[in-house]
Structure 1
Amino acid sequence: MAYEIESPYVKIEVESAGRKAVLDADLSIEAVTEFGARCKRIMEDMDRLRPEIEEARKALDLERMDALNSRAQAAVEGACASIVGDDGVRSFKEGCFPGRKQVLKPMLSLIEVLEAVVKGEGDARRKQEELAAHYLSEANSAQTEPDPAA
C-alpha cells in the first residue's frame, strides 16, 4: 500500500523578457515564518537607510549608491532564499538575468511573486481545513446505529 504525504514544496515558474527559471518553493510554516520576518527586517532597514540613499543620490556618489544597492540586494536575496533556497536564488538570477550583477529590482519583484504564492497557498489550505472541519462535524453528528423507534 502506498501513502502520499503532502509536501510543503511547490514548483513555481518565473519569467522575465522571455527567460525562465523554475524554482522549488518551500511553503512549510518555518520557511514562511522566516520569509515574513526577513521581509519585515528589509522594510525596517530600508526606512532607516532612506536618508542615506537620498544623500548618496543627491551627491551622485555612485560608489556609495552601489554599496547601498548591494547591501539591499543581499538582504532581499536572503529573504527569497528562505523560500526558494540559495540554489533557487541563483537559478532565478542566472536564468532570468544572466551576466547581471545588480538585480535588486527583479529580486524585489521575486519577493512579490513569493508573497502571492505564500498567500495563495495559505488561502487554499485554510479552505481545505474549513471543509475538513465541516465534514468532520457532520460525521461526528451522524447517526451510527439504527434508530430503535423506527
Structure 2
Amino acid sequence: MPGQPATAWLSDASLHLVTAFAWPRRPRNRLQRISPMSMLKDPSQKYRPFPAINLPDRTWPSKTITEVPIWCSSDLRDGNQSLIEPMDAAKKMRFFKTLVQVGLKQIEVAFPSASDTDFNFVRELIEGNHIPDDVTIQVLTQGPRRPDPVSYT
C-alpha cells in the first residue's frame, strides 16, 4: 500500500529485518550539494594488516602490501557503456572533474575508436588542458580488427 512500510527479509549468516517505505518516495532535495572530499593520502594506515600465514614452502602467503595501491577509475568508460542513456560530453566532463577532485590520479576516460562522443571527449580533455599535471589518463583501444585503431585513438 502506498506510504506504508514494506518489510523484506535478507539472509546471509542470519536473518535481518529491513524496513523501507514503498512508493511514493519522497523526492530528493536537488539543492543539496555533496561536500568536497578527498581520498586518504595513505589508505594503508586505515586498516591493520591481516595475520601472516606461515607456509615455509610458499612465498606469496607471507607477502604483505607495504605501499599505497594505485587506484584507477574506469567509470567513464566501463560505467558509461552500461547506462541505458549514456553520458553526453558535458556529463562526462563533470564526472571527470569530480574524479580529479576526489583525488584519483589515474583515470580511464574512454574507448575513443568506438564512438565519436568518446573520441571528441578525449580530444577536449587534451586540447582544452583539463588534465592536471599529476593525473594520468588512459584509453581502451581495439586489436587489429579495425584499420589502425591505435593511430586513430
Taking structure 1 as the reference length, the TM-score comes to: 0.22
Give the number of the structure with larger relative contact order, counting CA–CA contacts within 8 Å between residues 6 or more apart: 1
Q: Hey, which of these two has a bigger chunk of helix by percent?
A: 1
Hey, which of these two has a bigger chunk of strand by percent? 2
